[in-house]
Chain A
Amino acid sequence: MTGKRKSGKIRLTILMAAVSLSLLSLTGCHGSKGRAEFEVPKELDESRTFEITFWAKNDTNKTQTEIYQEAVRRFEEYYPNIHVNVRLYTNYGDIYNDVITNIATETTPNVCITYPDHIATYLTGSNTVVPLDSLFEDSRYGLGGKKVAFESVKREEIVPEFLEECTIGENIYAIPFMRSTEACYVNQTYVEKLGYELPDVLTWDFVWEVSEAAMKKDAKGNFVVNGQNVMIPFIYKSTDNMMIQMLRQKDWGYSDESGEIQIFNDQTASLLKTIAEHGKTKAFSTFKISSYPANFLNAGQCIFAVDSTAGATWMGSEAPLMDISADKVVSFKTAVRMVPQFDPEHPQMISQGPSVCVFNKADPQEVLASWLFAQYLLTDDVQIAYSGTEGYVPVTLKARNTQEYQDYLAKEGQDRKEHYDVKIKATKLLLENTQHTFVTPVFNGSASLRDAAGQLIENVVKSVRRKQTVDDKFIDKLYQDVISLYRLDQIGGTTETKKDLGPLPVTAKLLLGTLALVWICIITVSVARVLKNKAKDAKKNAK
């Protein structure tokens, strides 16, 4: 967290990188044979030494870094001939960008933390990412394989929903590593002070209503609820997730597997208009516009802060991680709820979190060594340790069912660090609602669509704050701008945004008409010739 707004550059880098990869894929069509498909070797050659690289991501969290290092150390005890070099990143965007750059020079890492959206772009290259299906099933080195040196996780021990998220088309291209969702961290003290009872499941209507109620000011211009001159009742960190979840909860279109984009329509517009109403009163804002929800929440300047469960250690007036000075922190009761819903009986929330892919190499032995390390990340030691750093959940049932993990959950609130109650509540939120999670379809360009979905909200809120009118005309223009900015018109199957080319021009009609006339003439003459020849032949035969 702390003070950095470098995401703008990162996002642009991603866009540029994606374009570069698209161009690469085009040039690759001319004469490039690509890498051969990976085939699982019969044996790992233990007489050889392998140097593999692992590009990892931490949440600007030193403990996570230490867990990666410990994982490498333990893995190398099992496989002394495989050396793993870790390169750390603090955001997915940088990894994505660097991978794309390295696809061009065939210097990708061996193992890489990633998102399925990103893999879809990597797959533009030929045999770049190893499909894991055959590795999963391999009786020797696969999941639960008899020749794996450590206690390998079996396929059925991975949470099926999370494994399903790693399937792109017909193949599995990644293994889930950690999972999180979004949570709404609530200042319950203020909700009750405003005269409301906090429901178990928040609805959008409830959140909007309480947020507007919190905007009441006293004669001095301070907000009545907190007595301060700053109050943004509802702040959303990732507006892309906000739009995606709203659409999903409404069962309105976002995209499909084929890359058909479905968001630029009146249904999305109706959501944007509602958001605009509350942006206009400043009851709602976003990270990009105002800063981290946690900072406002902890200062008593926000009531509903939506952020990842993987950011839970920053949330609440007793949070172990804090960006604001102690004198600004206000004491309040923090409640953890799922993101607001349209239909509380059928809640829906996004599933997110890192996965791991294995890049293909010319040497199948090197790929096998990489796979073994990737598989090691599913072991209980890694899963339990890493999930405890934030509100992540282990992706294996095996780790979840260990006594160690159950003890960890049971100690909720016993201290303000490892067992910080808000963090463990956030973890339980996902554990108890895995069946209500979803992911968006993955295709080459889905990462851009996600950015575009968030940009719609950002632009609407920014504009109403600047006293512009958000009406149909504004939204039409916004749609055009966002489609252009994220090059969504270059992604296949955008039926709702297909340009109406109108009637054919007169010249085109003339051209086609002339062509038709020429063909009629040619056919007529040919037929006439055939008939004439036949007549001649008939005459000859008659003679």
Chain B
Amino acid sequence: MRKKVLAVVLAASMGLLLFAACNSADQNGKESSAESSQSVESSVAESSVAESSVEESSVAESSVEESTEVVEPEVKAMTYAEYAAAEVDDPVVIEAYVQANQSWWDGKLTVYAQDKDGAYFIYNMACASQEDADKLVPGTKIRVTGYKAEWAGEVEIAEDATYEIIAGDTYVAEPVDVTELLGTDALIEKQNQKVAFKGMTVESEALYKWDGSGKEGDDLYFNVSVNGNTYTFTVESYLCGADTEVYKTVKALKKGDVVDLEGFLYWYEGVNPHITAATVK
């Protein structure tokens, strides 16, 4: 009799245990999924702490996946003139066409973009993957939401701006010859644009880093002159690496060579173009 009672008690206990365990697992599952959705929100919100809206971020990502879908923008994009007039640290929304990208790294991509009125340097824009970065081929129209910034004279859209691809028209800018603008106040109006410099004389051979302390694969710095003034130009290694034609050409330049150059009119405490093409005459 006692054995029976014991068996019943044990069976009942085990049953309860089983029920509790199942229920607990179920609840834990719910808690864990609640937690994970919470953490998703938190990480999205995190990226938007100061720079971007959650909605924009997710819209950008989904539109990247379905790049053929036309997105109806909610906020009217600024014209280039409005962008140029905006104060540093103001929020900005622009639409422009990708001209080139630096190398993608861990969710960030630096983009050179331009429209028919002006150009934009979009520094470390949020970009989820290399696959997404690959979709931003030259000519692709993008809508960028972020904040205007200025770093060492370079006017840009600050780190962690978000973007979405806008399907439809494309535009690849032709380089504007700014040789005669070098040394003038008018040059800065072309900041970030795709530009050309004709008949520049090489004043010093290229250095790895600004003083030659670098190595193969680092940025190349070289001096060129025109109209009696000398300027420092750069082959930015994240834009044109050691295996590119321009890197090899610039590395081989000799003092006295005359070259035609193309690139983007980047600024660092004065004009400091990022060169993308070089032709020795």
- A-side residues, CB < 8 A to B, are 1-6, 8-9, 12, 16, 58, 60-62, 64-65, 88, 90, 289-292, 295, 323-325, 328, 459, 462-463, 465-468, 477-478, 480-481, 484-485, 505, 507-508, 510-511, 514-515, 517-518, 521-522, 525, 528
- Cβ-neighbour of A468 out of B2, B50, B209, B238 (below 8 A): B50
Tell whether, in the assembled complex, residue A292 and residue B152 are in contact, meaning their CB atoms are under 8 Å apart. yes
Q: A463-B50, A485-B46 in contact; A4/B213 too (CB < 8 A)?
A: no
8 A-B pairs with CB atoms under 8 Å apart are A6-B238, A9-B105, A58-B213, A88-B213, A290-B151, A463-B50, A507-B23, A515-B17
State in angstroms the CA–CA spacing of A323 and B268 once bound together.
9
The reply to whether the CB of B140 lies closer than 8 angstroms to some CB of chain A is no
- Taking CB as reference atom, which chain A residue is nearest B9? A521
Tell whether, in the assembled complex, residue B17 and residue A511 are in contact, meaning their CB atoms are under 8 Å apart. yes
A-chain residues with CB within 8 Å of residue B14 when the two chains form the complex: 518
- Taking CB as reference atom, which chain A residue is nearest B274? A3
B-chain residues with CB within 8 Å of residue A478 when the two chains form the complex: 49
- Taking CB as reference atom, which chain B residue is nearest A328? B269
Q: A236 → chain B, closest Cβ, in Å?
A: 15
Tell whether, in the assembled complex, residue A484 and residue B13 are in contact, meaning their CB atoms are under 8 Å apart. no
- Cβ-neighbour of A459 out of B50, B149, B150 (below 8 A): B50
Q: B177 → chain A, closest Cβ, in Å?
A: 23
Q: A2-B268, A295-B269, A521-B10 in contact; A514/B152 too (CB < 8 A)?
A: no
Tell whether, in the assembled complex, residue A463 and residue B106 are in contact, meaning their CB atoms are under 8 Å apart. no
The reply to whether the CB of B118 lies closer than 8 angstroms to some CB of chain A is no
- Cβ-neighbour of B13 out of A485, A508, A514 (below 8 A): A514
Tell whether, in the assembled complex, residue A466 and residue B211 are in contact, meaning their CB atoms are under 8 Å apart. no
Tell whether, in the assembled complex, residue B10 and residue A511 are in contact, meaning their CB atoms are under 8 Å apart. no
- Cβ-neighbour of B209 out of A60, A505, A511, A525 (below 8 A): A60
- Cβ-neighbour of A505 out of B13, B24, B159, B268 (below 8 A): B24
B-chain residues with CB within 8 Å of residue A521 when the two chains form the complex: 6, 9-10, 13
- Cβ-neighbour of A477 out of B49, B123, B238 (below 8 A): B49
Tell whether, in the assembled complex, residue A484 and residue B46 are in contact, meaning their CB atoms are under 8 Å apart. yes
- Taking CB as reference atom, which chain A residue is nearest B107? A12
Tell whether, in the assembled complex, residue B213 and residue A65 are in contact, meaning their CB atoms are under 8 Å apart. yes
State in angstroms the CA–CA spacing of A525 and B7 once bound together.
11
B-chain residues with CB within 8 Å of residue A508 when the two chains form the complex: 24
Tell whether, in the assembled complex, residue B234 and residue A88 are in contact, meaning their CB atoms are under 8 Å apart. no
A-chain residues with CB within 8 Å of residue B108 when the two chains form the complex: 8-9, 12
- Cβ-neighbour of A90 out of B20, B21, B213, B234 (below 8 A): B213
B-chain residues with CB within 8 Å of residue A525 when the two chains form the complex: 2, 6
State in angstroms the CA–CA spacing of A465 and B45 once bound together.
19
State in angstroms the CA–CA spacing of A510 and B106 once bound together.
46
Contact with A along B204-244 (1 / 0, CB 8 A): 00000111111100010100000000000010001000000
State in angstroms the CA–CA spacing of A502 and B147 once bound together.
40
Q: A3-B234, A484-B43, A518-B17 in contact; A325/B269 too (CB < 8 A)?
A: yes
- Taking CB as reference atom, which chain A residue is nearest B151? A291
Q: A65-B213, A484-B43, A507-B27 in contact; A8/B17 too (CB < 8 A)?
A: no
In residues 130-145 of chain B, which contact A (Cβ within 8 Å)? none
Shortest Cβ-Cβ A-B pairs, 7 listed: A3-B268, A291-B152, A507-B24, A2-B210, A511-B20, A518-B13, A510-B20
Tell whether, in the assembled complex, residue B50 and residue A61 are in contact, meaning their CB atoms are under 8 Å apart. no
- Cβ-neighbour of A3 out of B24, B43, B211, B269 (below 8 A): B269
Most B-side CB within 10 Å, residue of A507, A508, A528: A507
Q: B271 → chain A, closest Cβ, in Å?
A: 10
Q: A12-B105, A521-B9 in contact; A295/B152 too (CB < 8 A)?
A: yes
B-chain residues with CB within 8 Å of residue A295 when the two chains form the complex: 152, 269
The reply to whether the CB of B16 lies closer than 8 angstroms to some CB of chain A is yes
B-chain residues with CB within 8 Å of residue A507 when the two chains form the complex: 20, 23-24, 27
Tell whether, in the assembled complex, residue A60 and residue B213 are in contact, meaning their CB atoms are under 8 Å apart. yes
Tell whether, in the assembled complex, residue B16 and residue A514 are in contact, meaning their CB atoms are under 8 Å apart. yes
State in angstroms the CA–CA spacing of A462 and B24 once bound together.
45
Most A-side CB within 10 Å, residue of B6, B45, B234: B6
Tell whether, in the assembled complex, residue B24 and residue A60 are in contact, meaning their CB atoms are under 8 Å apart. no
Q: B96 → chain A, closest Cβ, in Å?
A: 21
Q: B129 → chain A, closest Cβ, in Å?
A: 14
- Cβ-neighbour of A463 out of B16, B49, B105, B269 (below 8 A): B49
Q: A64-B213, A507-B27, A514-B20 are in contact. List 13 more A-B contacts (CB 8 A).
A: A2-B210, A8-B108, A9-B106, A58-B213, A62-B213, A325-B269, A465-B89, A467-B89, A480-B42, A484-B42, A518-B13, A518-B14, A522-B10
In residues 4-53 of chain B, which contact A (Cβ within 8 Å)? 6, 9-10, 13-14, 16-17, 20-21, 23-24, 27, 42-43, 45-46, 49-50
